[in-house]
Structure 1
Amino acid sequence: MNQKRNVVLFIASSLDGYIATKEESLEWLFKVEGEGDNGISEFLDTIDTVLMGKATYDWIMEHEGGNSWPYSDKNCYVFTRSSIADTEQVKFISPDIQDFVSKLKKQEGKNIWMVGGGKLLYSFLKENMVDEIIITIAPTLIGKGIPLFNNGDYHLELLLKGTRRFNQFVELHYEVKR
């Protein structure tokens, strides 16, 4: 079984394009009435690898992780410029991102989740390493905060694969045109 592995950005955003407030709060997101888990469990079944930046890892550990890592059943890689010892659940890496992701995509397995954050996502977009984008839009305007997409030197054309509604949330699923 040699299925093509895709790198998928799966993320929630405010209607005006922010993933968090300036204070890194997601409180606005949790106030929105969703449906079930808004498709998260279904998505997690399609991946076996998780990629994220160190700031995103730190946020998860502070707000969700505690003593248990929420993605313990996945291969987890955290990109960092610091030298950090691996844990049982997470490997900290600082290789050439494009080379590392190319090797991952050649391995057998499920899709690869590009969790974030903004700097890492920018690198992925600039190098055209994202294959699919799934954005769940919350009916909230934040006005300012941490943007989903940073301004930068990239241009991607997308094809709409589908939409779904989870009560007040709308999911947009795009494929990157090649």
Structure 2
Amino acid sequence: MRKVVFYIAASLDGYIASPDGSVDWLPAPPPGEDYGYADFLATVDATLQGRTTYEQVLTFGEWPYPTLTNYVFSRQLAQSPVPSVQLVADDPVQYVTALKQHPGGTIWLIGGSSLAAPLLAAGLVDELMLFVVPQVLGAGIPLWQPGLRLQPTRLLHTRTWPDGMALLHYQL
């Protein structure tokens, strides 16, 4: 069975985006450093995104995941200009439950927190790779939805970088 990995960055105070939804506070990696992103991406063949995350990624320029199958959960969007994007209006829990049964690589849950919350609550997320950015935003879009209860976790790995970035990798 395929695994779902929630791979995401958050500020020290637990926000994944500024109040306006921007992520321009995320630092650019130092030259020659990608914080393990390329290694992770090599295991992935599909992404899960909510509509807001998808629309934000579209503003970054060229679509960054053309070789992956990208599932965007939205009841508002009718079509996507990106050939590798499949719009999904179905219930995320039911859809991802079925998707995990199909052969393939890692499924990357990109976000946002509104999509992650029901998948976490249903026990469909297998791992959390949380990059803690050494910055305090004070307000914004929180990583965790109110009332979310995570299942027990097991720490798999930690890593820190000289610029203060830290990876916390958990099995859920």
Fold conserved (TM > 0.5)?
yes
Query: Which residue identity does 2:74 align to in structure 1?
Result: T
Does 2:74 match 1:77? no
The residue aligned with 2:170 is: 174
Mark the runs of 5 or more structure 2 residues left unpaired by the alignment. none
1:159 and 2:154 matched: yes
1:54 aligns with 2:47: no
Aligned residue for 2:6, secondary structure, equals: strand
**Structure 2 CA distance for partners of 1:7 and 1:31, relative to 1, 3 Å:** closer
How many Å separate the matches in 2 of 1:59 and 1:112? 20
One-letter amino acid matched to 2:171? E
How many Å separate the matches in 1 of 2:68 and 2:9?
Answer: 20
Q: 5 Å matches for 1:57-136? A: 57-62=54-59, 64=60, 66=61, 68-86=62-80, 87-136=82-131
> How many angstroms does 1:40 deviate by?
1.0
Moved more, 83-92 or 107-116: 83-92
Shift of 1:5: 1.2
What percentage of aligned pairs have identical amino acids?
36
User: TM-score when scaled to structure 2?
Assistant: 0.91
CA distance in 2, matches of 1:150, 1:96: 18
Deviation above 3 Å: which 4+ runs of structure 1?
A: 31-35
Whole-angstrom CA distance in 1 between matches of 2:72 and 2:110: 10
- In structure 1, runs of 5+ residues without a counterpart are none
Partner of 1:42: 39
Tell me how far apart the structure 1 counterparts of residues 36 and 4 of structure 2 sit (CA, whole Å). Answer: 18
Deviation larger for 17-26 or 27-36? 27-36
Indicate the structure with greater helix content: 1
Q: Look up the SS of the partner of 2:26 in the other structure.
A: helix
The alignment of Structure 1 onto Structure 2 pairs a total of residues equal to: 170
The C-alpha deviation readout for 1:111-168, integer Å capped at 9, x for no partner, is 1001101211111122221110000111111111111111124332110000012332
Deviation at 1:98, TM superposition (A): 1.9
User: Once the 2 structures are TM-superposed, how far is the Cα of residue 32 of structure 1 from its aligned partner?
Assistant: 7.2
TM-score, normalised via structure 1 length: 0.88
* CA offset digits 1:2-61 (Å, max 9, x no partner): xx3111000011111111110222222226758611111111011101000001000111
**For the aligned residues, what is the CA RMSD?**
1.7
